[in-house]
A and B are shown apart, each in its own frame.
Chain A
Amino acid sequence: MTELAQNLIDALALGSLYALIALGVTVVYTVMGMMNFAHGEFIMLAAYALYVLAGLPFAAALGGALATGVLIAIAAERVAFRPVRNADLSAQLVTSLAVATILQNVVTGAVNARPQSVATPAVLGESTELGAVSVPNLEFVTLGLTAVVLAGLGWLLYRTRAGLAMRAAAENFEMARLLGVRADRVVALSFAISGALAAAVGVLLVMQTGQVSPTMGLTPVLIGFVAVVIGGFGRMVGAVLGGLLLGIVSSLLGAYLPADLVPFRDAIVFSLPVAILIFRPRGLLGAATGEARV
């Protein structure tokens, strides 16, 4: 019983982390229709900001990571993604692959290809006892942060003018534009939000592993993609659900798989979406849209 509760809390924490990643990918996808490979590098760069700013007070380093995520995302949009905004999905995907490669290797060249360790506040490494269950403090932070982010995003999207513009653009970009929504601003805003989400994930990952490396964004971005596909393209709620599901399944597999199969957990987790897509080609919450009208 205790073990189950323990595993469930771990699973929920991992699911929350994955949901944050998936949200970051979806925010851009809904507005611009682009799956952004470079989202993983936004995460990685925010994490490197913690590494570079290690000497500063922790709060300042956090601010630096947030600023890095947001600024990189906005810069990437301006330089690389705006010119291909009207290209097809494949072209945009390949463009983002290029951006990802460049960012990853700039860091490799500037710092090092090898992982670097980052000191984290000791309190995050400790656990809190809740009855018989021992919950790592970091999991509280993850769960809390996810809740705050979801609430904040909900407020932004449904209670502000900018959010209304974003939702309009997500429904029909061209029409929103004709009605006076400033396309460049909306896209830039969605990238800024995406960058902020990436920064949150980057910070959490550093807290979890205590290190940074140039390729640390690869697995998260793939998780984000897969979660978005599972949840149904372009649905924020779907992305959150997809991320939660993926994290929970992954975590429980880690806890309950036979020991000699545990190394293959990723293989199993990444095979799951294919199984789901066969039965629901548009994902769990996918709308019946996307099929071309004839």
Chain B
Amino acid sequence: MSGVRFRSRSSLAVSLLVPLALVALTVAIGANGTPSLQGTVTTILCNLIIVLGLQVFIGNSGVYSFGQLGFASAGAYVAAVLTLPAALTALQTPGLPDPIATAQLGPLLSTLIAAAACGLLAAAVGLPLMRTSTLAIPISTFAFLVVVYNVLANWDAVTGGSSALVSIPRTTSVESAGLWAAAAVAVALAFKWSARGYRLQATREDEVAARSLGIGVMKERLVAFSLSGVLCGIGGALAVHQSGVLSPTTFYFAATVTTVTMLVLGGARSVFGAVLGTIAVASVNEVLRGIEGGAEILGLVAIGDTPGLAAIGVGLILLATMIAMPNGLTGGREAGELAWLGRLLGRRRPRDRAAKSPWPDVPNAAEMVKAERARDGSLRAEGISVAFGGLQVLRGVDLELPRGEALGLIGPNGAGKTTLVNVLSGFLAPAAGMVRLDGTDVSGRSPNRLARTGLGRTFQAALPFPHLNGLESVAVGAMGVGVGRRDAVAVAADVLARLGMREKAVLPAGSLPPASQRLLGVARALATGPRYLLLDEPAAGLSEAEAEELVAILRGVLEDFGCGILLIEHEMSVVMSLCPRVQVIDDGITLRVGSPAEVQADPAVIEAYLGSSYLEVASA
């Protein structure tokens, strides 16, 4: 559409094809090997699917789940009972109801059913689990893993209890596992680069900023958790049809540690990392197992007690990775984003080219996002009061911000300016008072819902998305309010051009200087197409010339977007030149609302800023 893209076609191709080539190579090695090697390679490929499942959730959300192997376990059991012949089912799991007990499905159908079942299970389990806090999710998911184990090990009539199910048809070949793994790579990449994927990544980078862009953290996590459940279920189903035996410990604590290690070693944020890490850890593991002595090589999801050497190796790899390179082998980047890999493949550095080439014409973001935009309307706060413990921060503050106007909000430090913005944007519930947006009472709405209603904001701290580049960071703003990926890129390109930040588009937001990060925050909020934009000290850290530039940019925003701007700012020249009206608050109450000149002449305002003694001296 616009010609502006997150990544060049060649970078995209490399990111997709390199991991696929690694999978193909693994398949090729396995297919031409001894039967024992074939089994090992098939198991590695099954593990890869599970690790990709972990990547979808952990990599994109940044939240560790230790429960995903529970889905692999569930998928394996579903696939096993669906494929066991009726006679064997009657022996091993006599309590199964009839259609399942007698069913003897083919490998494809049973895998698909297992995948669907695990997706549903993950959605059902995730619904309560994702409600818990970021701190609690690792623990509550771990508890889920134990619950799955406990049920599988004790529900003898249906699962065969703690003894292993045996004689499960061994239908998974190296090739079929390879095909599934390749599909899983494509799915994981497609998810990561979808609007949903970007929204989730934004919550990983900064939860608060993501919410201010309209992103529902819980919902995005739940979607990824469910997709992860599907992939883990497929991995489990394929693995059980490789080994032919299954017990509740097959996918339990040890397998959790192994798969997490694979993900972390490669670099959790990267799909390529998941592939690389799986192959690397699996290789080391095989070697260690060889040393361990004579034990039949079964791959990683081993059954029975192999005395610890391989597991110690896995633990040491994990420990060393966390201490020495927490971003993993890939640094969290995809194959197309790795400079050394680019050189290896003889590509020119795409970054330089993108920065130099002029941007093609992009459609006007203002046009795209202001679908319905009546010119009138206002953001009103009525009688807002807030107390932190015994400290009364706001006492009955009113505020009115009409569409298309800039209102300056000034006051000494501690006056309650940011608290008021937090109330307006839904981050803080006031003890009393009401917020109306274009006449609708929006008090008590969540920040993300308010953002989708047309309320954008920035923060005093820039809260950048360090691992996303400038273009992605801004596009997330549009995606957060439901704009599709393609359009979001176009909007982001336009907004960045408006703010004179084109050259920042390809740089990771975390590498920008603070002033640029703050401006990027403005761009991000603008991309949500706000009707009202609340800016918390956007000019902090800017030079005089840059501040003037910012004023010009904001004038353009007022004109083109027609939104109202509430500007908190200590740099008076910025406030005075942009805002026809200024509201002064001090100690939680409004001192004065008026034109800049009126406000500056008001004795009460001068006293609040400079103290009463100044007034006496000045009048003397």
A, B bound:
yes
A112 and B308 CA atoms in complex are apart in Å by 9
Q: Is the CB of B136 within 8 A of A277?
A: yes
B155: chain A residues at CB < 8 Å are 264
Q: Find B260's partner among A94, A215, A270 (CB 8 Å cutoff).
A: A94
A100 and B318 CA atoms in complex are apart in Å by 11
A95 and B314 CA atoms in complex are apart in Å by 12
Bitwise interface map of B from 93 to 131 toward A, beta carbon under 8 Å scored 1, else 0? 000000000000000000000000000000000001101
Q: Which residue of B lies closest to A224 (CB)?
A: B139
Q: Which residue of A lies closest to B140 (CB)?
A: A274
Q: Is the CB of A87 within 8 A of B132?
A: no
Q: Find A93's partner among B64, B132, B143 (CB 8 Å cutoff).
A: B64
A2 CB → nearest B CB, Å? 30
B312 interface residue (CB < 8 Å to A): yes
Q: Which residue of A lies closest to B143 (CB)?
A: A270
How many pairs of residues, A versus B, come closer than 8 Å at their CB atoms?
150
Bitwise interface map of A from 181 to 205 toward B, beta carbon under 8 Å scored 1, else 0? 0000000000000000000000000
Interface size counted on chain A using CB atoms at 8 A: 51
B619 interface residue (CB < 8 Å to A): no
Bitwise interface map of A from 83 to 125 toward B, beta carbon under 8 Å scored 1, else 0? 1100101110111011111101110110011100000000000
Q: Find B143's partner among A104, A112, A226, A233 (CB 8 Å cutoff).
A: A226
Which residue, A263, A267, A292, has most C-beta atoms of chain B within 10 A? A267
A228 and B437 CA atoms in complex are apart in Å by 41
A113: chain B residues at CB < 8 Å are 305, 307-308
Which residue, A97, A106, A263, has most C-beta atoms of chain B within 10 A? A97
Q: Which residue of A lies closest to B136 (CB)?
A: A229
A154: chain B residues at CB < 8 Å are none
Q: Find A290's partner among B133, B208, B305 (CB 8 Å cutoff).
A: B133
Q: Find A94's partner among B128, B135, B142, B264 (CB 8 Å cutoff).
A: B264
Q: Find B128's partner among A222, A229, A264, A274 (CB 8 Å cutoff).
A: A274
Q: Is the CB of A95 within 8 A of B323?
A: yes
Q: Is the CB of A226 within 8 A of B131?
A: no
A156 and B607 CA atoms in complex are apart in Å by 50
B319 interface residue (CB < 8 Å to A): yes
Q: Find A101's partner among B132, B315, B461, B463 (CB 8 Å cutoff).
A: B315
Known contacts A91-B322, A94-B64, A278 near B208 by CB under 8 Å: no
Q: Is the CB of B143 within 8 A of A271?
A: yes
Interface size counted on chain B using CB atoms at 8 A: 51
Q: Is the CB of A266 within 8 A of B150?
A: yes
A277 and B128 CA atoms in complex are apart in Å by 9
Q: Which residue of A lies closest to B249 (CB)?
A: A215
Bitwise interface map of B from 146 to 186 toward A, beta carbon under 8 Å scored 1, else 0? 11001100110000000000000000000000000000000
Q: Is the CB of B151 within 8 A of A267?
A: yes
Q: Find A263's partner among B142, B154, B314 (CB 8 Å cutoff).
A: B154
B208: chain A residues at CB < 8 Å are 292, 294
A270: chain B residues at CB < 8 Å are 143-144, 146-147, 150
The B-contacting residues of A in range 53-84, CB under 8 angstroms, are: 80, 83-84
Rank and list the top 9 A-B pairs by shortest CB-CB distance, nearest first: A105-B308, A101-B315, A263-B154, A98-B318, A102-B315, A98-B319, A113-B305, A108-B308, A105-B311
What are 13 contact pairs spanning A and B, CB under 8 A? Answer: A90-B138, A94-B64, A98-B316, A98-B319, A101-B318, A113-B307, A113-B308, A228-B139, A229-B132, A270-B143, A274-B144, A281-B132, A294-B208
9 new A-B pairs (CB below 8 Å) besides A101-B257, A112-B307, A229-B136? A35-B138, A91-B322, A101-B311, A101-B315, A106-B308, A113-B308, A222-B142, A264-B151, A271-B143
